[in-house]
Amino acid sequence: MCGIDTYVKMNEIKTNEGEEKRSLNFIEAIVEKDLAEGKNDGRVQTRFPPEPNGYLHIGHAKAICLDFGIAERYNGVCNLRFDDTNPVKEDVEYVDSIMEDIKWLGYSWNKVYYASDYFQQLFDFAIQLIKEGKAYVDEQSADVIAKQKGTPTQPGIESPYRNRPVEENLALFRRMQAGEFEEGRMILRAKIDMASPNMHFRDPIMYRIIKEHPHHRTGTTWKVYPMYDFAHGQSDYFEGVTHSLCTLEFEVHRPLYDYFIDLLQKGDNYRPRQTEFNRLNLTYTVMSKRKLLQLVKEGKVNGWDDPRMPTLGGLRRRGYTPQSIRNFIDKIGYTKYDGIIDAALLEHAVREDLNIKAQRVSAVIDPVKLIITNYPEGQVEMMDAVNNPEDPAAGTHPIAFSRELYIERGDFMEDAPKKFFRLSPGKEVRLKSAYIIKCTGAKKNDNIEEIYAEYDPATKSGMPDSGRKVKATLHWVSAEHSLPAEVRLYDRLFTVENPSEEKEKDFQEFLNPDSLVVLSHCRVEAELQKAKPFDNFQFQRIGYFNVDPDSKDGKLIFNRTVSLKQSF
């Protein structure tokens, strides 16, 4: 795990002018070398190949920024290609959400490609390999085939069906596609080398029968479906992809990728190459689609876009901006080593982006009434509240000040210790954008019910300085002029850094029971009346919040994107 400083050091170099500039990552270096050597006639083409079996997560964003980013940087093309080779798990709902998420990140594509567009070509290629004696139909059970695989140090055992005559293989494969056999009854395997030190070369499966699930695009046309290893490289080749970038776990698949490309390649100056980079793993979350799906299906979260999820939909709903995610991805960089990134780094990125962009507003999330006893009843003054001190062009907005206000319960203490600089009897504080007040007492039953104070009219904010120094500035809203709101506070979804690490325990045992706290009696200033879903704000002194799309019929709901400062 690395801290923020380490990342800056690893991935940025200072130019002479002192401005920060990122050095080439190792993949950009490979692309530049290929271009310099005139490979692929100077073309750069990448692809982003999601399987439509779930929603995209922040890990996918790392792949998206690389695939689309490389294409942008080298005037190339990046294809969006759905790797839709398993109809059992795939659905159009996922296809649609994936397109929406990529667009949201700020990338676009010319045409959507699907591995299923190549089913006929792949089928024909399989027939060719059968004819060349490079593939055969195996009728053994999956268990037996698995047992025969051997181990990395022990050669596998050849299937008794391995030397079937070509004609028999052809007839059986065609009958598999005709739907004559049940699922699992037989498979098509490549005939390579059962003794290869690379397990993926031990007669890998090329095709399996799937009949019970229609495909979301090809319906019931196909009864046999290609495995990833028999579809991916070939799809790259059919499309003209030059740089096929994927995560490190595919490194061991690369020889097989090259093996099939060798059989396809027609001796021109074009050849796709696979390069692997490290996956993104984040602390306190899980990144596997299978696990995320489980959380959704079992109701442990409120859907794929629950703001606690590491999905792009979840992050968007939480208030993350596309720019913050892209900045984060840029910071962490691409390497050849797997690791786990501190979630604080992602939070830092959104804080940094929202600091520049988010309008400052007043919201009191745990309200207690403050009465300014010497302020005339019925009087209202419109104060000028600065929209963003980081951006003078953002201007100001009016906020109503009156005799009865709300402040945070935690900003008052009856018997305050010396170091408590906020409100307590006899003490002075400034009310942001308004006056200095002095606390005169409080009404108490079990809890503090009301706090009393007197204001000094000579200390109005923006007026010539009264010369008085106070140690704290509190935010507040006017009781009458503020709006009721619900605020949802999120914490990490898991209580441990790496919930997937402990193999003996189910990752769900580490779910944080307090990952969502709903505060339903908050008060926000009237300025927020015009806020729209997904708008970002800084609630002064509290954190960054956005408007949840559940807000409707005048009911305002806010999500806490992140607190103002790192809290751990």
Q: Which residues bind ligand ATP (CB under 6 A)?
A: 49-51, 59-60, 62-63, 83, 246-247, 279-280, 287-290
Q: Smallest distance from the beta carbon of 563 to ligand ATP, in angstroms?
A: 26
Q: Which is nearer to ligand ATP, 271 or 279 (CB)?
A: 279
- Residue 432 touches which of ligand ATP, Mg ion, none (CB < 5 to 8 A by kind)? none
- Residue 367 touches which of Mg ion, ligand ATP, none (CB < 5 to 8 A by kind)? none
- Residue 247 touches which of Mg ion, ligand ATP, none (CB < 5 to 8 A by kind)? ligand ATP
Separation between Cα atoms, residue 86 and residue 250, nearest integer Å? 18
- Residue 59 touches which of Mg ion, ligand ATP, none (CB < 5 to 8 A by kind)? ligand ATP
Q: Which is nearer to ligand ATP, 345 or 487 (CB)?
A: 345
- Residue 71 touches which of Mg ion, ligand ATP, none (CB < 5 to 8 A by kind)? none
Q: Smallest distance from the beta carbon of 67 to ligand ATP, in angstroms?
A: 8
Separation between Cα atoms, residue 426 and residue 437, nearest integer Å? 10
Please give the positions annotated as active site. 51, 279, 289
Q: Smallest distance from the beta carbon of 260 to Mg ion, in angstroms?
A: 17
Instruction: Tell me which amino acid residue 258 is.
Output: D
Q: Smallest distance from the beta carbon of 402 to ligand ATP, in angstroms?
A: 52
Instruction: Tell me which amino acid residue 480 is.
Output: E
Q: Smallest distance from the beta carbon of 49 to ligand ATP, in angstroms?
A: 5
Helix (H) or strand (E) holding 226: strand 224-226
Residues in the chain: 568
Nearest residue to Mg ion, using CB?
51
Over 328-372, what HEC string results?
A: HHHHHCCCCCCCCECHHHHHHHHHHHHHHHCEEECEECCEEEEEE
Q: Smallest distance from the beta carbon of 264 to Mg ion, in angstroms?
A: 21
Calculate the dihedral angle through the C-alpha atoms of 539, 543, 546, 548, rounding to the nearest 10 degrees.
-100
With contact defined as beta carbons under 8 Å apart, do 425 and 439 qualify? Answer: yes
Helix (H) or strand (E) holding 538: strand 536-539
- Residue 62 touches which of ligand ATP, Mg ion, none (CB < 5 to 8 A by kind)? ligand ATP
| Positions 33 through 62 that interact with Mg ion (CB under 5 A) | 51
Nearest residue to ligand ATP, using CB?
59
Q: Which is nearer to ligand ATP, 31 or 280 (CB)?
A: 280
Q: Smallest distance from the beta carbon of 247 to Mg ion, in angstroms?
A: 9
Axis-axis angle for helices 119-131, 228-239 (nearest 10): 110
Q: How many residues bind Mg ion (CB under 5 A)?
A: 1
Separation between Cα atoms, residue 292 and residue 216, nearest integer Å? 22
Which residues have C-beta within 8 Å of that of residue 324, sequence separation ≥ 6?
A: 349, 350, 352, 353, 354
- Residue 66 touches which of Mg ion, ligand ATP, none (CB < 5 to 8 A by kind)? none
Separation between Cα atoms, residue 24 and residue 366, nearest integer Å? 48
Q: Which is nearer to ligand ATP, 279 or 369 (CB)?
A: 279
Q: Which is nearer to Mg ion, 232 or 560 (CB)?
A: 232
Q: Which is nearer to Mg ion, 51 or 381 (CB)?
A: 51
Give one DSSP letter per residue of 375-404, joined into a string.
SPTT--EEEEEES-TT-GGG-EEEEEE-SE
36 burial level (CB within 10 Å; 0-12, 13-18, 19+): exposed
Q: Which is nearer to ligand ATP, 288 or 461 (CB)?
A: 288
The distance between the two most distant Cα atoms of the chain, rounded to a whole number of Å, is 101
Separation between Cα atoms, residue 157 and residue 162, nearest integer Å? 10
Under DSSP, the state recorded for 465 is P
Q: Which two tokens stand for residue 301?
A: 């979260």
- The gap from C-alpha 381 to its chain's centroid, in whole angstroms, comes to 44
Please report, as ranges, the residues that interact with Mg ion according to CB under 5 A. 51
